[in-house]
Amino acid sequence: MTIAVTGGTGFVGQALLDAAAAHGLPVRALARKPQAPRDDVEWVAGDLADKAALASLVTGAEAVIHVAGVTTAPDAAGFEAGNVAGTMALVEACLAAGVPRFVLVSSLSAREPHLSQYGASKARAEQVVKASGLDWTIVRPPAVYGPRDDGMFELFRAARWGIVPTPAQGKASVIHADDLARLLLALVPGGEAATHRTFEPDDGRNGGWSHYDLARAIGWAVGRRPWVLGLSPGLMRLAARGDTWLRGVRAKLTLDRVGYMNHPDWVVGPAARVPGQIWQPQIETREGLRATALWYRQQGWL
């Protein structure tokens, strides 16, 4: 079996390639830039706008795992191009090549598409896949953390400094990238329990994490007891404007992200849980956070 992967150079994609290598599964992965050789990985140069590259990527593959996506863009058009048009182009390539199986990595934000341009684009990408005629499964991860991640890393760095700003109210689910990668591989065979289903995986913690408890857990992981600063929606928007002013296109806290971060409930739905016979989380979050903090230290990030 050969699995075609988009987003293989990213944080979740790298975890997926590691998981595939552990199972001896050959992977063909799309990449914009030249990559270092990896065992059992065939790199295909190109991006989601390159029809020839997509044809090379999916031809002869038994399944496609679509991880690539745009998480930050200056406007709705940027999200549309990366998440909707890119998904449509990949679906068309799969149909042309006769690829039978398609696994889409969406986002829990697609559950509330009115809150952000990002979530709206992910919801539209899901509709593209559902209408494709392919044998599909959609995965909506909550907040994903783990080695290589430069998103939640900012919370680790803030905790190391002794203060972690969070939304004042609300709760959320989380998942380690390695657990998510195992799920994506587990879904490749499809079958009645997985086909035409939308799943919301998490770490198994019932009721998710309050923002306060997660911030304190991250503090414990870095060896600190940080002050958790709960910000109102207005202050969150102000902080996003400040981050955008300071870092421009490199800003992590954007107004679009604040749109869904201020929503009070990002806990995965029990009706959308992955059947236990397919997958169960293995990484306890406090230990996963501690191992992630250790990786950051080893890499000189902290």
Q: Give the CATH number of the domain where residue 183 resides.
A: 3.40.50.720
- For the beta carbon of residue 206, count every other beta carbon within 10 angstroms: 8
Spans of the chain below 50 pLDDT: none
What CA–CA distance (Å, rounded) separates 101 from 121? 22
Domain presence at residue 221: no
State both tokens at 4. 């075609």
Q: In which domain, by residue range, is 16 found?
A: 3-144+174-203+268-282
pTM of the entire predicted model: 0.96
Number of H helices, E strands in the chain: 11, 14
Domain presence at residue 112: yes
Q: What pLDDT does residue 163 have?
A: 95
Domain presence at residue 229: no
Q: What pLDDT does residue 249 have?
A: 77
pLDDT tens-place string over residues 229-260: 999 999 999 998 998 888 887 878 888 899 99
- Report the number of distinct structural domains present in the chain: 1
Domain presence at residue 262: no
Domain presence at residue 223: no
Domain presence at residue 129: yes
Backbone angles phi, psi at 30, to 5 degrees: -85, 140
Domain presence at residue 23: yes
Domain presence at residue 55: yes
Q: Go through the chain and tell me how many residues it has.
A: 302
